[in-house]
Chain A
Amino acid sequence: MGKQNEMVLPKDTRYMKYPVDEPFDPRWTAWNCSRCSYCKWIDPWRVKSWKYARICPQNKRFMFDAYSAQGKCDLALAIIDGKMNWEDDPRIKDILFQCTMCGGCDVMDKTIRDAEVLKLQKWMRAEYVKKMGVIPEHRPLVDSVKNYDNVWMQPRSKRNAWAKGMKIKDIVKEKAEVLLFVGCTYGLSAELDKTITNIAKILKKCKIDFGILGSREICCGSPLEKIGAESEFERMATANVEMFNKLGVKTVLTPCAGCYGTINAEYDRFNIKKDFEVVHITELIEQSIAEGTLTFKKEVPLTVTWHDPCHLGRLSRPYVPGREIEGVYESPRNILRAIPGVQLYEMERIKEYAWCCGGGGGVYTAFKDFAQWTALERLEEAKDTGAQALATSCPWCESNLGNAIKGMEEKIGLYNLIDLMAQAI
């Protein structure tokens, strides 16, 4: 077709090949939103009931379209085109920050078009913060990282308290094949002490040569990246990559989904080459089970459903247009299937279209009501499977879901996968 009998193709070559390696163009992303509302629902092929058909916690909770990726595309376009300014409307803060940045909208949008609407929302937060400053609710978090290199306002020296007496290598002093990057929450939360201790025990049992950074470990920067504190995030990311490279670490092993997703998918944008691979604890354990270095001896009679943490799943890989939204979906499921006595029941929304726990994107810190509301929907979905317990492998999910369970009349069990496994070893 065409006047010269030649193919008439788009002049804007971005329609013909989405430029993942070029600088992000927020206007193009916003301009090309068709308002189809895919960003608000799980893919229609996957809808199994009226009750669990939605993907976006923010839109379901606050309802107005502004509280969705589509609405934020419209807002971004108005800001970029100079029709609105960040300071024009105080509600912009709520629209931008009362969002768990779970990426559900992003997956659904990628089903339809080549675009990165989550990246657009991160860009919006970063621009907002540049102009208006970090929102007051997030200020303590940023200050904590600045002062203590962790998000929990804990002294650096407490980072390796859990490892006392466990004879774990200090990787700065002794070479090890694997760096166990503990993460702020596993390293500093008393409630999760048991889990990180179990992880170390399991690694020893699997004869993995690993070490830790102890008090020299710093935050991966994930919360900073999500709340728009871009320069602070860059500082942490750069420092981490430089440190890991300098130590000659070949494998960074993370028990935290947030650290995993961030180091895997977000560090590359600063053009510092990573000389190491990032592995999540569930991937390593799955491999150990397959190789026979880890076996389960005790039965754990329990029906369990698996909650896919966003950062372990859909947010854990760099974007490749047209390719499946990959993530660590099968490893935890295979582990659960391998535990004697455990029966796996699936929720309706799983893997790349899982419903968020509610704890991400700075919401856990700043908007607790919304975090709990989102968690309660996930717990309800878990209960509807008939499972006795829900298992996950992300400290943020565990904390947020755990808080929500406390307020439930009919409770459901909650396990970190590692702790559940430990019962069987």
Chain B
Amino acid sequence: MKDKKHTRIFDALSSILGRDNIADDPSVMIGYSRDWMPEATMNPNPPAFVALPCCVEEVQAIVKLANRLKFPFIPVGSNFWSLNTVPVKPYTVVLDPKRMNRILEINEKDMYAVIEPYVSHAQILAEANKRGLYLGAPEAGAQASSLANHVFQAAWGVSHRLGMGYRNILSMEWVLPNGEVLKTGSLTAPRAARLWGEGPGPDLRGLIRGSYGVMGGFGVVTKMTVKLHPYPGPKVFPCEGILPAQRSKMPPDRFAWYLFTYPTTQKAVDAMYEICQAEIAGNCSKLPTSYLNWWWAKSGEEYWETWKEGYWQKNCNNMVAVCLWGFTSPKQLEYEKRVLEDIIEETGGKKVPDEVYDRIVTNIANSWIRTAYGPRVIARSGTFMVFSIQVDTMDSNVKTLKHSADFLDKYSPPILDCDHTDWIHSYEMGHLGYEEDMFPIQKTEEELGSLMESFTKVMQKDLKRKHEYNIAPGLGAMYHQLAGPVFGYDKLLKGIKKSLDPNNVSCPPQPISPE
């Protein structure tokens, strides 16, 4: 319904952006009506407008207009995991950043890059690799927006060594929900190298980054400096074969994968702690069998036949996957190999058979260096859900995953066969443990609806237990709404929301409703 307000907003946006860069056509809007999550899949809702700003000035003008005319806006990146940033209010404008797609600088000496929102991880990795630099690859796949991934959480394969992605933010140019432009860290000093993230004054990065970030609720980041790290790999990612069956082999003098199993998850985690204490490796994860199958299988048939055959379940139960990186030299790699061999022996680890090793390393493992075939997770049954995500200690992760296993068993069906999908990842040399349990469900409205219902019931019980098991992430948009009161940060978050976004125009109701 194009009423007077709609026309007024459209005309104003046209004069800011030019007519070609704003759309309200139904056929264009429908392409922004959902994300992958069950709720939006079942109840898609198109925005009223999609805008293509090209710079901070245009974003700022749109945000100021939003405050003046009282309409909501939603900033997106590559718009894959939007976490329910599907419009919930009339006159919503989606800000699609495809015209803000530049890498503005890569500084080899000081090891950072300045990027705009539509730069993909793969693009920045490709450019960084040429210069012997690196920044990590997310589970969502390297087609995802790097900037958006950094503020979301950025759970990378190499976070064991490099830290969670959100810790790699060095500075931001950020249009606040009221239209003011805030610069953080080194971007505040025009002539400074973009080396540091803190200050001047309070470190404001904490306002926007973190687990799930603030989901667009605190304005629009238009520019970001991200830290880059030394990369001992080749300038071009080594890859052969024709899609979808391509393979990769990293240079053996700089990279070495070790895959070994334990009788229990706890024993696997105990070994991971040893690895962390020895301060070795670039990647260190306990990978669940179903994840391996997701990443490996190139078709639904291959996936389900392999699963029925029990290939991964037989060979990779409680498997720890470690990639040693010779960051400084081949000697470093040789040293770390010796340390790891000792740890495997001391902890009773059993290496997987050679055939299994080859299958994983060339087809799967190197994904964690350039990209994960994360979206394949969705394909084998139409969709998936996440029961819990927890960033805590790895020991705590083990406990949470036991609760997860109960849920998976109890609600299967509709949850499809997937073993216990317990993924535990060491971050920052084991100072943090990350767990996640994705599971497949068939993408029908009935199955999605039934599971969402069960999920909500379990969730309510969990809340009564003071949020013991961190299951809120599965509900996406309600994350802070639900977790805030349990952990006692809801009032603070509401206060910040009211202060930064007095008209509640930045992606309502994210990150938390001010009321």
A contact set with B: CB distance below 8 Å:
1-3, 7-12, 14-18, 31-32, 34-38, 40-41, 43-50, 53, 63-66, 68, 70-71, 74-75, 78, 83-84, 88-89, 91-92, 95, 107-108, 110-114, 321-326, 329, 351-353
Contacts and interface: CB of A to CB of B under 8 A. Distances in A.
B273 interface: no
Given A12-B442, A324-B242, 15 more contacts: A1-B418, A2-B409, A34-B375, A36-B80, A36-B375, A37-B143, A43-B371, A47-B123, A64-B23, A65-B28, A68-B31, A78-B30, A112-B375, A113-B375, A113-B379
B301 A322 contact: yes
Contact of B120 (A41, A71, A108): A41
Interface in B372-403: 373-376, 378-383
A3 B28 CA distance: 45
Contacts of A323: 245, 298
A interface secondary structure, majority: loop
A292 B492 CA distance: 80
A65 B79 contact: yes
Nearest to A92: B27
A65 B96 contact: yes
Contact of B35 (A35, A40, A83): A35
Nearest to B248: A45
27 contacts: A2-B413, A8-B412, A9-B308, A9-B417, A31-B382, A31-B443, A34-B379, A35-B36, A36-B140, A36-B143, A38-B141, A40-B143, A44-B370, A45-B239, A53-B120, A53-B123, A64-B96, A65-B79, A74-B31, A75-B30, A89-B25, A112-B375, A112-B376, A113-B375, A323-B298, A324-B245, A353-B243
Contact of A113 (B35, B378, B444): B378
B201 interface: no
Contacts of A91: 23, 25, 27-28
A146 B28 CA distance: 34
A44 B122 contact: yes
Ranked nearest first, the 10 interchain pairs of A and B with the lowest CB-CB distance are A322-B299, A71-B31, A113-B379, A44-B371, A44-B142, A44-B122, A36-B375, A324-B242, A65-B31, A47-B122
A43 to B, nearest CB: 6
A166 B31 CA distance: 55
B30 A84 contact: yes
A16 B304 contact: yes
Contact of A8 (B35, B243, B416): B416
A111 B243 contact: yes
Nearest to B94: A65
A16 B301 contact: yes
Given A36-B80, A38-B141, A84 B26 contact: yes
Given A1-B417, A15-B381, A352-B243, A75 B78 contact: no
B31 A10 contact: no
A44 B121 contact: yes
Given A1-B409, A34-B379, A112-B373, A88 B243 contact: no
Interface of B: 23, 25-28, 30-36, 44, 50, 52, 78-80, 96, 98-99, 103, 119-127, 130, 137, 140-144, 236-237, 239, 241-246, 248, 297-302, 304, 307-308, 370-371, 373-376, 378-383, 408-409, 412-413, 415-420, 442-444
A158 to B, nearest CB: 40
A208 to B, nearest CB: 29
A112 B297 CA distance: 9
Name the residue among A17, A89, A112 with the largest chain B CB count within 10 angstroms. A112
B231 to A, nearest CB: 15
A50 B121 CA distance: 10
B300 A15 contact: yes
A70 B31 contact: yes
Given A44-B122, A78-B30, A114 B245 contact: no
Nearest to A108: B243
Nearest to A41: B143
A65 B95 CA distance: 12
B300 A17 contact: yes
A111 B244 contact: yes
Contacts of B300: 14-18, 113-114, 321
